[in-house]
Structure formats: C-alpha cells, structure tokens
Structure 1
Amino acid sequence: MSGQSPEPAGTLHGVPAAPGAGLAAQLGGLLQRAARGDQAAFADLYDATSSRMYGLAVRVVRDPAQAEEVTQEAFLEVWKTSSRFDPDRGSALSWILTICHRKAVDRVRSAEAATRRDTSYHQQNSTIDHDATSDAAQASMEAQRVRKALGGLTDVQREAIELAYFGGYTHTEVASMLDLPVGTAKTRIRDGLIRLRDKMGVGQ
C-alpha cells in the first residue's frame, strides 16, 4: 500500500475518544507526561481532546470563531498548568474540560460586560469592580509575557500563533491566509503553544 489512512478525529492511537476507564487512564498519563515537558504527549492529548473541547466551547459562546479562540486559550492554559493535575481528584478529561468551560464562560461574561458598557456607560462606570480592573491589568501583563516569548518560536510557528492567538482567526482562516492545509495550520499552532510554555518557563 502507498500509505496509511489517517486516524479519525477524536482518536488516540486508534482508540475512539469516548468515555471509558481505558481512555481516561491514557489521557491522564498523557497529561502527566506533558507536565514533565513531553511535547509528543501534549500533541497526542491535543489531538484526542480538541474536538470535544471545541464542542463544549461552541455550546457556551454560541459562535464558532470565538469557540476556536476559546479552545486555543484553554489549551495554552492546559499546557501551562498541566503540573497541577491531580488524578486522585478526577479524570484528565474532566480537568481539561473544566478549564475550557471556565474560559468560555469568561468570554461570554466579557462580551456581556462590553455590551453593558456600550449601552449604559454611566451606570456601568459607577459600579466598576476593583477586582475586574485588577484582572484586566494582570491579563495585559500576561499578554506581554506571551508576546516576548513569541520571539523564541520559529517563524512559521510565530506566524500561526499570532494569527490564531492575537489575531483571533480560526484554524480554517489561518490555513487559508498561510496557504496551508488545515491540519498543518493546527499542527503549527499546537507546536507553537508547546514552545510558548517552554519559553515562558512555566512548570519548570
């Protein structure tokens, strides 16, 4: 035969991404290996869970483009904080989906807050929450750290990450803009996320 057929989306080395003790154990192992800096393990984890994470995100934010952004933000958080996963407190999939759900809810709340500011500026201005201001400042500082770390990526990884993470483009749009197959664009984004964590010194 000239080649092998690609594995269906949502599989892990040929294992369907469906609930089960076997898959749960595999995902847990991959997450723990990713916490130790195993890039191949994170790549497998990404491939095995990205469809489910996107599905959760799109149900919450109700917008496919924003759901892709949320999914990428969630994976960056998973990669940065994977050392915090405790298998005794729940499954890896549950832990990952919780991060994704929180990111999606934060996106919805942010959009709602922006709408309130636009339609009722004075009312919103009189009830500014100090914690919200602090969170915004912290998010800005984090973004600066990420941008600095981007300098350590390869040109192709940085280009893909900047379009997806900062430009807000979907995988399909990134692939079209870079004249790449969608799968290649996803791989560059995923690998870029891996190197971002390394450059930012997270988990070391």
Structure 2
Amino acid sequence: MSTPVEITWLLAAVAKGDAVAFERLYGATCPKLYGVVLRILRRPDLAAEVLEQAYLQIWRDAVDYDPARLTPLAWMMAIVRRLAIDAARAPQPPATDSEPEIAEEDEGPGSVPRHELTDDLKRLLTCIGRLEPDRQRMLLIAYYGAFSRDQLSAKLGMPVDLVRASLRRSLLEIDGCLTS
C-alpha cells in the first residue's frame, strides 16, 4: 500500500485527468477497498460491480477531494462504503444457479474478478492514454457525464458532426488497442 502522501499526490493527478495516476491509485488502493465492499455485501460478484462504480466516482470527484478534511484513503473508503450500503439496501435479483459457484471461486485474497478487473482497467486506461488529450477529455466527459452528442457539442463549443466523428474515432482506436 502506498503512503497517504503518495495517494494524495495520485488523487491530485487524477483530478487533472491523469489516467496513469488513476491506474497507480487503483493498484495501490483496490485490495483495501475491495475488502471493505466485500465485508458489507458478502457477494464477490456484486462487490466487483460496486467497486467499479466507486472508482468511476473517484475519477469524477477527485477534483473535489480536500486533504484538509479527510485522508485520501478515508475519502475513498467513504465513497466505497456508501455505494456498498446502497447496493446492499437495493432489491437484489434472485441468484442464478451459477452465482454460488462463482462466489465460491472468488472468495479469498486472490479472487479472480478483482484481478481481471485490475487487468482490464489497466488495459483500458493504457488505451485511453494513447488518445490525444482533447479526445481523451471529450470521451471521458461524454462517458462520465452521460452527455448526448448535442449536449457535448454545446458544452465543448464544437459542431455535432465533429463531436460524433471524434468520439467514433476514439472508440475505434480504443477497440483496436484492446483487441491487439
């Protein structure tokens, strides 16, 4: 685990949109945060989903992190804990026959979904990092803000066709990167 100072630095870099810092932050904090979620939910499949949501929120909200109020890990744990409690309170679909098998395989410190998520996230962040900075920003704003092309066009002051073409080109590049 990295020190609180290192995690604070990583959060500051993430707030500026640094995907490499986000990857390092994820690697440094994932085991601890996954443990928190798993203790609350007791379902590795759901815990992995909640953890993914938490890291998306950490990416979006890193700009709002105030080191004077909380340590970085405490801030991240608060996000994870709140999302896990919300998920625990939400009505859950009935478990299928395959879920207990998955849960049994996933329990323990070396659970497969966590490692797969880590590897997938690393690959995705690497591919996003290869995009031009303006296209990275546009893609992340579109995805995390759930903006339509028209809304994104208005927000960025660009023609809709240019936004559409840029997003399409970015997604094709990411797809090509992920499949290579």
TM superposition score category, shorter chain reference: 0.5 to 0.7
| 2:27 maps to 1:47 | yes
Question: Residue 46 of structure 1 contacts residue 190 of structure 1 at CA under 8 Å; is this kept in 2?
Answer: no
1:33 corresponding residue in structure 2: 13
| 2:140 maps to 1:197 | yes
Deviation string, structure 1 residues 143-198 (Cα, Å, up to 9, x no partner): xxxxxxxxxxxxxxxxxxxxxxxxxxx994699xxxxx775334235558986634
- C-alpha separation in 2, matches of 1:45 and 1:82: 11
- C-alpha separation in 1, matches of 2:128 and 2:49: 13
Structure 1 gap segments, 5+ residues each: 1-16, 116-169, 176-180
| 2:76 maps to 1:76 | no
Question: Residue 74 of structure 1 contacts residue 100 of structure 1 at CA under 8 Å; is this kept in 2?
Answer: yes
- C-alpha separation in 2, matches of 1:60 and 1:193: 32
Deviation, structure 1 residue 63: 0.6
Q: Which of 168, 179, 185 pairs up with 2:120?
A: 185
Aligned residues: 123
1:66 corresponding residue in structure 2: 46
Question: What pairs with 1:1-204 in structure 2 (closer than 5 Å)?
Answer: 17=1, 23-111=3-91, 172=112, 184-188=119-123, 197-200=140-143
Structure 1 residues 55 and 187, CA gap change in structure 2 (3 angstroms): same
Question: Residue 30 of structure 1 contacts residue 44 of structure 1 at CA under 8 Å; is this kept in 2?
Answer: yes
Structure 1 residues 189 and 101, CA gap change in structure 2 (3 angstroms): farther
Question: Residue 33 of structure 2 contacts residue 80 of structure 2 at CA under 8 Å; is this kept in 1?
Answer: yes
**TM superposition score normalised by structure 2:** 0.57
Deviation, structure 1 residue 77: 0.4
- C-alpha separation in 2, matches of 1:200 and 1:77: 12
1:123 corresponding residue in structure 2: none
Aligned alpha-carbon RMSD (Å)? 3.3
Deviation, structure 1 residue 68: 0.6
Q: Which amino acid aligns with 1:187?
A: K
Deviation, structure 1 residue 59: 0.3
